[in-house]
Structure 1
Amino acid sequence: MFDINSADSIIDFAKILKEKSLREACGKEIEKHGYKGKGNFGQILEKYYFGYEPNSDSEPDFLEAGLELKSSPLKALKNGEFRSKERLVLNIINYLEVHKEDFDNSSFWKKNAHLLLVFYLHEKETDLLDYIIKLVDGWKYPKEDLEIIKRDWEFINQKIKDGKAHELSEGDTFYLGACTKGSTALKSFRDQPFNKEQAKQRAYSLKGGYVNHIIANVARDETAIYGKIITHPEVLDKAQTIEEFVVSKFQSFYNKSANQIEQELGLDLNQKAKSYFANLTNSILGLKLGQKIEEFEKADIQVKTIRLKENNLPKEDISFPTFEYQELIDTNWEDSDFKNILESKFFFVFYQFIGERLFLRKVKFWNMSQKDILEAKIVWDKMFKTVEAGEIVKEVTDKGIRKTFFPKKSENRISHVRPHAQNRDDTYQLPVIDKLTGAIYYTKHSFWLNASYVRDEIYLK
């Protein structure tokens, strides 16, 4: 067993789990546990391996050692590396109490200062008792990460103090998010202290990108090439946000052409290369070409370079990754990839065409308001119903062009759905055969942000 007073002893005992399943580690006793459903992996681990009853106390699981146990699923990439399957959910945010706390004596910090992390490989067709545990270790936040996490916590707390708990979004912050927590919408609403409007129940969570950073550390994976924007926490002025610090790096280049920026930075880049704007952004931030921006990767920040026409309208709508039709109808809105993307923090870099030349106009951190996320949800809802009903194709023209029931740009101010494939034969399987054509596969599509929305709500605001 282990010494309940020693974090090292508990972590060492946990490491025996590596390359084992719960069935192997805990024995037949677990078969009596009603283990079906999300979240039960952690409960079984607590009860049958560590020998304590699962609870939702505000104290750490191993109180005497100040250690909190968290289990989390992994997915395996084709190259054999592991990535986080989801964010790491921590404790529930108590709106009525948290505004009385400061970070150092907060319920969040008391519970989550030292984590014992157990990562298991999630496989669709496998019983959760047979998931293989791949990575186990303790985790304390490095100094530079802790500075950012503290600022994230303070931002969330200030929003609650301002009576805006109902407007919280994961895109508000960098590493520490406020994710929704609760199955049905009505049941998961809670009172907040400074506004009569109820707010969705939320929990503190470490974003997927930050969990990937932890996974790489635990796995001793040094292959990723990262560059830091903030090399020392003290470079941030107390009154300066991380966003302000990053934006300040670009401001001296505003209204200069891409060629001028290259010259000032002593660069000679291939302007036809796909990586051209990424390389220009890296150089402005003081990073090497080809490096990933560590803070952005940890925060799941989506970097989007937008080329504007002379009338301020982006040259193109913004595409998101393709979705699989089966996965779309197997997932509810709260867990959907589309909602997850919309709740992300974005970093927009706007260049504008004047003739053939591109000029840097501005950069901006942005995340979508909850009101607009609900408006975009209408597009997701229609897409869900369309695929579920097998009503994909509305008509086939004389020229063989298939017109669909998918949400069009004219139907929604924010988003639409359209093809995102190499050609018509680049497809995903349909869960329900199309009623009109009998098709069982259909061209890959994705959700897009409307160019007019980017202009009106992001660039011009």
Structure 2
Amino acid sequence: MYNVNSADSIIGFAKLLKDQTLRQACGVEIEKHGYKGKGNFGQILEKFYFGYEPNSDTEPDFKEVGMELKSSPLKSLKNGEFRSKERLVLNIINYLEVHKEEFETSSFWKKNAHLLLVFYLHDRDLELLDYIIKLVDDWKYPNEDLLIIKQDWEFINQKIKDGKAHELSEGDTFYLGACTKGSTALKSFRNQPFNEVKAKQRAYSLKQGYVNHIIANIAQEEQAVYGKILTQETILEHLPSIEKIVVSKFEPFYGKTSIEIEEHFNLKLNRLAKSYFANLTKAILGISLDKKIEEFEKADIQVKTVRLKENNLPDQHISFPIFKYQEIINSNWESSNFKNILEQKFFFVFYQFENKKLVLKKVKFWNMSNSDIEETKVVWDKTVETIEKGEIVKEIKNGRRFTYFPNSSEHRISHVRPHATDIYKNVNSLPKKDKLTKVEEYTNHSFWFNAKYVKDEIYLK
């Protein structure tokens, strides 16, 4: 079928899968595959198409050529483009051994330096044997990406050496994450070498944003929409952490008003537009205003501009995307969109009101601690329970609706509130009628960070 000693032969054989389903590509034998669980698409692909038994070896799947096979689901956008449905999980992190390794000779690099990627279109209405395979190609990391991935790997390794494997978080790093692998039950916890506290089992993974970058390259989509922070000159001269490079670009503008920054770059921006501060951020980073920040997109970085009052308290709570009522009750905490966002890295840009002008005070990369993420689960749980019971509206006073959703006084970190300019038009369907009002649709809501939490735990720390 293919020559195991030839990467080109293996890749060519893999590309025959494009626009086919597993059922079409593998024939009648596949009907008796017998594999169960989330990873069974990949297992079936390995056994019935490539002809080898699925395994968890430390060697790459095609060890003769040093290439690892990975399959991953896609979702389709309205414009026909494809995006990753999830992060790409690689190999399990062996806490007891990895601290002895160097990146270039590590088990991670040996297994994942060269990937053969099979992307299929996920469809909840189809059996997995009928998912259509849309993109197939191999992937080797460009030099500028590899430098960041190496730094990510070294950060994870240092945390293990420091006895902090139990504190690992996906938000620690940029392109290469340490995602949880397995349930949160006790059986998924592992020993670590420099601390008696057990740590959640984790695996190396490529962030969802980085997977989207790979998909765009394989699909040969237009790349002109991105601008880079890291130039070849930066890479050749030195590569401190990307965090230091970004912060160093902002530091010369500390103490300057937003208008002074705008004038420095000879910009003429609409100061009332939602994009105003995002455009200032791009200008400072040397990114054209019509482009996205490539490194931030690859790393799934959440950029938040915060305006502080004179007492250092943000002038408003910090919002997250709207949630769909039906979707949130059909998910669980571990796989929820909200938890996924909390595990990402954030980039905060703080402006403060001084004499009615906004002055740039500082910028900060930040990621939430595991303990705070788990504490926030209380807010998520109560929100799901409120929707499931159909008990959303508590009372109506003077035309204003008060709900059972967790509010900012109930919890230190987060709360739920409307996310709509018109509370009667911006609505989505409820899975169950609200008992008090009998409505079947309700105002769009989202999770929010409490302003005090942002002040105390992010700005002042």
Q: TM-score, structure 1 length as denominator?
A: 0.97
Measured in 1, the distance between the counterparts of 2:408 and 2:182 equals: 32
Measured in 2, the distance between the counterparts of 1:115 and 1:290 equals: 32
Measured in 1, the distance between the counterparts of 2:404 and 2:200 equals: 32
Indicate if the aligned counterparts of 1:185 and 1:200 stay in contact, CA closer than 8 A: no
Aligned counterpart, 1:237: 238
SS in 1 for 2:187: coil
Aligned counterpart, 1:117: 117
Equivalent position amino acid for 2:418 in 1: P
Measured in 1, the distance between the counterparts of 2:323 and 2:429 equals: 11
Measured in 2, the distance between the counterparts of 1:34 and 1:72 equals: 20
Render the CA deviation track for 1:4-47: whole Å, top value 9, x for unaligned: 01111111101001111111111121111234541111111001
Aligned counterpart, 1:2: 2
Measured in 1, the distance between the counterparts of 2:426 and 2:404 equals: 19
Name the count of aligned residue pairs.
459
Measured in 2, the distance between the counterparts of 1:355 and 1:127 equals: 62
Q: TM-score, structure 2 length as denominator?
A: 0.97
Moved over 6 A (4+): none
Mark the runs of 5 or more structure 1 residues left unpaired by the alignment: none
Indicate if the aligned counterparts of 1:310 and 1:353 stay in contact, CA closer than 8 A: yes
Indicate if the aligned counterparts of 1:236 and 1:242 stay in contact, CA closer than 8 A: no
SS in 2 for 1:65: coil
Aligned counterpart, 1:411: 410
Distance verdict in 2 for CA 1:263–1:280, change over 3 Å: same
SS in 1 for 2:157: helix
Aligned counterpart, 1:170: 170
Equivalent position amino acid for 2:192 in 1: Q
After TM superposition, the structure 1 stretch with the greater mean CA deviation from structure 2, 429-438 or 141-150, is: 429-438
Aligned counterpart, 1:274: 274
Equivalent position amino acid for 1:192 in 2: Q
Asked if residue 29 in structure 1 is aligned to residue 29 in structure 2, the reply is yes
Deviation at 1:400, TM superposition (A): 4.3
Asked if residue 439 in structure 1 is aligned to residue 439 in structure 2, the reply is yes
Measured in 2, the distance between the counterparts of 1:51 and 1:66 equals: 17
Deviation at 1:283, TM superposition (A): 1.2
After TM superposition, the structure 1 stretch with the greater mean CA deviation from structure 2, 260-269 or 313-322, is: 260-269
Aligned counterpart, 1:385: 385
Aligned counterpart, 1:197: 197
Mark the runs of 5 or more structure 2 residues left unpaired by the alignment: none
Indicate if the aligned counterparts of 1:323 and 1:445 stay in contact, CA closer than 8 A: yes
SS in 2 for 1:310: coil
Percent identity between the two aligned chains: 73
Measured in 2, the distance between the counterparts of 1:432 and 1:196 equals: 47
Deviation at 1:123, TM superposition (A): 1.2
SS in 1 for 2:269: coil
CA RMSD of aligned residues (A): 1.4
Measured in 1, the distance between the counterparts of 2:138 and 2:261 equals: 44
SS in 2 for 1:425: coil
Measured in 2, the distance between the counterparts of 1:385 and 1:259 equals: 46
Deviation at 1:236, TM superposition (A): 6.3
Render the CA deviation track for 1:191-233: whole Å, top value 9, x for unaligned: 1000000111100000000000000000000155111111126
Distance verdict in 2 for CA 1:35–1:390, change over 3 Å: farther
Equivalent position amino acid for 2:404 in 1: F
Indicate if the aligned counterparts of 2:184 and 2:200 stay in contact, CA closer than 8 A: no
Measured in 1, the distance between the counterparts of 2:85 and 2:37 equals: 16
After TM superposition, the structure 1 stretch with the greater mean CA deviation from structure 2, 155-164 or 304-313, is: 304-313
Deviation at 1:426, TM superposition (A): 2.1
Distance verdict in 2 for CA 1:244–1:223, change over 3 Å: closer
Distance verdict in 2 for CA 1:229–1:236, change over 3 Å: farther
Equivalent position amino acid for 1:161 in 2: K
Aligned counterpart, 1:146: 146
Deviation at 1:433, TM superposition (A): 3.1
Asked if residue 12 in structure 1 is aligned to residue 35 in structure 2, the reply is no
Render the CA deviation track for 1:369-398: whole Å, top value 9, x for unaligned: 11111111110111122222222222334x
Deviation at 1:357, TM superposition (A): 1.0
